[in-house]
């Protein structure tokens, strides 16, 4: 046992496993799932072809099977795996942040309508992108969808906060109910747009409602990079503030935390993360709910552990779900949202019944 | 010292606090008493820098409290709220260590844990550090939150010299008699260590037994202040609380405030014997 290991074990006492071990195990799982995701696919190309694929990518091997391996491994599976990791990490981190900020274990970007708002903006961008809104959207290129989804998520979040704020405090019950209402509203508007769209758009749109990574490309990986960087930059500024919020907003202020700043950064970061995730993969539920709760059970509610841990765990979950999504009924694909709901809903119920999830006093 | 000068808080057309001036002096335990709705908790929130007064100013060692950045303020004053609920399961030690999470304190986890253990020891919960907070009784939980407040001041950087204040809003409300006395003795010890302590409390007898100074509030104003012996008189208290109260001297010279229904029966009982 290392010195750091021993210290953490001493700090948390006997009830928590050492943090270093938890992180080591989580990182191992993430790497394992990423390797599996690269190795498994309906085309049957295995990891043994990786050297040939890399050679082809570098321009050294020109035969058609090497070119095929390059296409499958480098242009399809690698960006897909990276995007799955980003989407999972972004959603899980957002879920953890929202639960901390709203002091509610049920706050999840999907449940309170932020994802629906982001999806509506993305749907509107697709449907209206070559119609009336073309001059507005065309100059943004590949960034149009993530940016639209980001603002969709942000506007939904701000509306929610405006509805739920009472004398400077967020009324959590109101927030959840308003979130459900806003989510339903965004869903119906999205449905209307889908109804009004043509066949080509409709195919794009169906992916949004249940989530899919089948459209993964390097373009999309590059499009989410700035968002991933923004989240990574924001998280260290948030952990202490969110820890204070666990005791309540007044108590956070008493502890010396700039509560308004914490709220603003959390909401902007969540909107950015969810917006970007929805933009590349559609609406994916349960990751934001399950990953943070598993982390809290493992390592306690300290956000210095919960946020990075949820990111790693969320990334792993989505990568694994995506492997199942593309293999279960190959050569066709399941929407990833279905896979995650199938696994996530029972896990969530189990957590609720264990009582550990409600916590509280 | 922590000093409110002519402070008022107006909400709509109602004056929750009306032109209140109050000084919380280091080394003294100042208890604020008064009927429900008198503005005690509102005054505490103003003194904590949490609520901006509509009129007047609160000073911390002659600096306007609202001009002190929250992180620096946290090094100088800690607050124990009436009830603090946690949304997620924490261990006792983790809760107390939250007191050391103040941005800018920059202390290591190991140092925070040491300070937290010391604070837990001070409130008599040294053996509880790995227990989950939500499994504790109300009284134990309240003491954990007091330990958190102590831990906050204990881990403040030495550069933040000056008055250190602890503000407590009815910390004994849910405690049994033994724990009421334990908690107040602990709070009193903090005052004797040189800290400025403001205690909002309902129990007049506990206030009389432990406070150096009592402030009586009624309808947002200060109805009287002074040493317990001077302030606790029947007419003032009966008028302020709107019910007939008797103040009797106990055998050791202290004062006891009792509703006249109890003293009436006691007197009748004595007469019957």
Domains of chain B: 2-226 (3.40.50.300)
What pLDDT, on a 0 to 100 scale, did the predictor assign at position A168?
59
DSSP letter for each residue of B19-53: EEEEEE-TT-EEEEE-STTSSHHHHHHHHTTSS--
Q: Tell me, what's the ipTM? A: 0.86
Cβ-based neighbour number of residue A353 at 10 Å: 9
CB of B182 closer than 8 Å to CB of B160: no
Alpha carbon of A28: minimum distance to chain B alpha carbons (Å): 26
* Under 8 Å between Cβ of B194 and B153: no
- Whole-number pLDDT of residue A215: 79
Contacts of A244 in chain B (CB under 8 A): 98, 101
Name the β-bridge partners of B58.
B4
Q: What is the pTM of this model?
A: 0.83
Mean pLDDT, chain B, integer: 86
Architecture of the domain whose range is A22-353: Orthogonal Bundle (1.10)
Q: Give, in order, the Cα–Cα distances in Å from A358 to each of A176, A310, A354, B256.
A: 15, 18, 9, 44
**Residues A218, A80 contacting (CB under 8 angstroms):** no
Beta carbons of B134 and A360 less than 8 Å apart: yes
Confidence class for position B107, pLDDT limits 50, 70, 90: low
Q: Which of A252-256, A267-271, B14-18, B26-30 has the lowest mean pLDDT?
A: A267-271
Chains A and B form CB pairs within 8 A to the count of 117
Please tell me if residue A68 touches chain B, with a CB cutoff of 8 Å: no
Q: Does pLDDT of B254 surpass 80?
A: no
Query: How many residues in chain B?
Result: 273
Return d(Cα B129, Cα B60) in angstroms, integer: 34
CA dist B77 and A109 (Å) reads: 36
**Separation of alpha carbons A209 and B245, rounded Å:** 68
CA distance A168 to chain B (A): 11
**Residue A75 gets which letter from DSSP?**
I
Contact B43, B113 (CB under 8 A): no
Place of tokens 């507005």: A136
Predicted pLDDT at A271: 82
Q: Which of B120, B115, B123, B121 is nearest to B91 (CA)?
A: B120
One digit per residue, pLDDT tens: chain A, 361 residues? Answer: 334 443 444 444 445 677 788 899 999 999 999 999 988 887 777 777 777 777 777 777 667 777 778 888 888 899 999 999 999 999 999 999 988 888 877 777 777 788 889 889 888 888 887 666 667 666 666 677 778 887 888 899 888 888 877 665 666 678 778 888 998 999 899 888 888 887 777 777 776 777 888 878 888 898 888 888 888 889 888 888 898 888 888 889 999 888 888 888 888 888 888 888 888 888 888 899 889 988 988 888 888 889 999 999 999 999 999 999 988 887 888 888 888 888 778 877 876 776 544 443 3
The answer on pLDDT for B95 being more than 50 is yes
By percentage, how much of chain B surpasses pLDDT 70? Answer: 92
Domain boundaries, chain A: 22-353
Tokens 């809760």 sit on residue? B95
Residue length of chain A: 361
Q: Which residue has the higher pLDDT, A57 or B229?
A: B229
Q: What pLDDT, on a 0 to 100 scale, did the predictor assign at position A360?
A: 39
Predicted pLDDT at A337: 85
Residue A9: the pLDDT is: 42
- Identify the pLDDT of residue A10: 42
Contacts with A9 from chain B: Cβ below 8 Å = none
Q: Enter the tokens of residue B230.
A: 């001077």
Contact A266, A122 (CB under 8 A): no
Q: For residues A340 and A314, is the Cβ–Cβ distance under 8 A?
A: no
- Other C-beta atoms lying within 10 Å of the C-beta of residue B33: 29
Q: What's the average model confidence in pLDDT over B76-83? A: 89
Q: Name residues 80-119 of chain A within 8 A of B (Cβ).
A: 99, 103-105
Beta strands in chain A (DSSP E): 165-166, 169-170
Contacts of A8 in chain B (CB under 8 A): 109
Q: Does B50 touch chain A (CB under 8 A)?
A: yes
Q: Nearest Cβ partner of A255 from B74, B89, B110?
A: B74
Q: What confidence tens digit (pLDDT) does each residue in B139-195 have?
A: 888 889 999 999 998 888 777 678 899 999 999 887 888 888 888 998 999 999 999
In this prediction, what percent of chain B has a pLDDT beyond 90?
44
Contact B94 A254 (CB under 8 A): no
Alpha helices in A197-217 (DSSP H): 199-210
CA angle B27, B33, B38 (to 5 degrees): 130
Question: Which residues in A lie closer than 8 A to residue B90 (C-beta atoms)?
Answer: 246, 300-301
């Amino acid at each position: 046992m290392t010195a750091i290991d021993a210290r953490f074990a001493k700090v948390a006492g006997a009830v928590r496993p050492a943090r270093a071990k938890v992180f080591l195990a989580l990182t191992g799982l993430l790497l394992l799932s990423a390797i599996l995701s690269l190795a498994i696919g309906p085309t049957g190309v295995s990891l043994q072809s990786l050297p040939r694929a890399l050679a082809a990518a570098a321009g050294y091997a020109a035969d058609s099977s090497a070119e095929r391996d390059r296409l499958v491994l480098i242009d399809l599976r690698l960006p897909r795996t990276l995007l799955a990791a980003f989407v999972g990490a972004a959603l899980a981190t957002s879920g953890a942040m929202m639960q901390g900020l709203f002091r509610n274990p049920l706050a999840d970007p999907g449940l309170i309508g932020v994802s629906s708002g982001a999806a509506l903006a993305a749907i509107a961008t697709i449907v209206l992108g070559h119609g009336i809104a073309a001059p507005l959207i065309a100059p943004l290129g590949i960034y149009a969808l993530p940016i639209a989804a980001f603002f969709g998520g942000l506007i939904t979040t701000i509306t929610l906060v405006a509805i739920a704020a009472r004398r400077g405090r967020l009324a959590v019950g109101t927030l959840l109910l308003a979130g459900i209402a806003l989510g339903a509203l965004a869903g119906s508007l999205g449905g209307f747009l889908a109804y009004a769209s043509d066949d080509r758009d409709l195919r794009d749109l169906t992916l949004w409602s249940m989530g899919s990574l089948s459209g993964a490309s390097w373009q999309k990986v590059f499009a989410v990079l700035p968002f991933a960087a923004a989240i990574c930059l924001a998280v260290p500024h948030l952990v202490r503030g969110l820890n204070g919020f666990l005791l309540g907003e007044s108590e956070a202020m008493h502890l010396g935390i700039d509560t308004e700043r914490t709220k603003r950064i959390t909401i902007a970061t969540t909107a950015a993360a969810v917006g970007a995730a929805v933009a590349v993969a559609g609406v994916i539920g349960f990751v934001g709910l399950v990953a943070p709760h598993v982390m809290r059970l493992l390592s306690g509610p300290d956000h210095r552990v919960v946020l990075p841990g949820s990111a790693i765990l969320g990334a792993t979950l989505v990568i694994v779900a995506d492997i199942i999504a593309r293999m279960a009924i190959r050569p066709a694909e399941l929407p990833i949202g279905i896979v995650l709901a199938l696994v996530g809903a029972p896990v969530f119920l189990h957590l609720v019944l264990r009582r550990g999830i409600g916590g509280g006093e | 010292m922590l000093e409110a000068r002519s402070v008022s808080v107006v909400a709509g057309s109602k004056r929750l606090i009306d032109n209140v001036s109050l000084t919380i002096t280091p080394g003294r335990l100042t208890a604020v008493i008064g009927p429900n709705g008198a503005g005690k908790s509102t005054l505490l929130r103003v003194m904590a820098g949490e609520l901006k007064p509509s009129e007047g100013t609160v000073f911390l060692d002659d600096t306007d409290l609202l001009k002190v950045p929250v992180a620096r303020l946290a090094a100088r004053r800690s607050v124990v709220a009436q009830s603090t609920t946690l949304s997620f399961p924490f261990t006792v030690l983790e809760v107390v260590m939250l007191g050391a999470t103040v941005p800018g304190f920059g202390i290591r986890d190991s140092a925070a844990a040491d300070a937290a253990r010391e604070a837990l020891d001070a409130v008599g919960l040294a053996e509880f550090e790995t227990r989950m907070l939500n499994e504790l009784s109300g009284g134990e939980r309240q003491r954990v939150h007091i330990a958190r407040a102590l831990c906050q001041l204990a881990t403040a950087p030495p550069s933040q010299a000056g008055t250190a204040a602890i503000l407590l809003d009815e910390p004994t409300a849910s405690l049994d008699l033994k724990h009421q006395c334990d908690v107040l003795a602990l709070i009193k010890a903090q005052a004797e260590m040189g800290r400025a302590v403001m205690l909002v409390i309902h129990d007049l007898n506990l206030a009389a037994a432990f406070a150096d100074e009592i402030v009586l509030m009624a309808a947002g104003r200060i109805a009287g202040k002074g040493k317990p012996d001077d302030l606790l008189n029947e007419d003032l208290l009966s008028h302020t609380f709107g019910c007939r109260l008797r103040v009797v001297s106990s055998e050791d010279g202290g004062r006891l405030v009792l509703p006249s229904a109890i003293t009436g029966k006691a007197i009748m009982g004595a007469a019957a014997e």
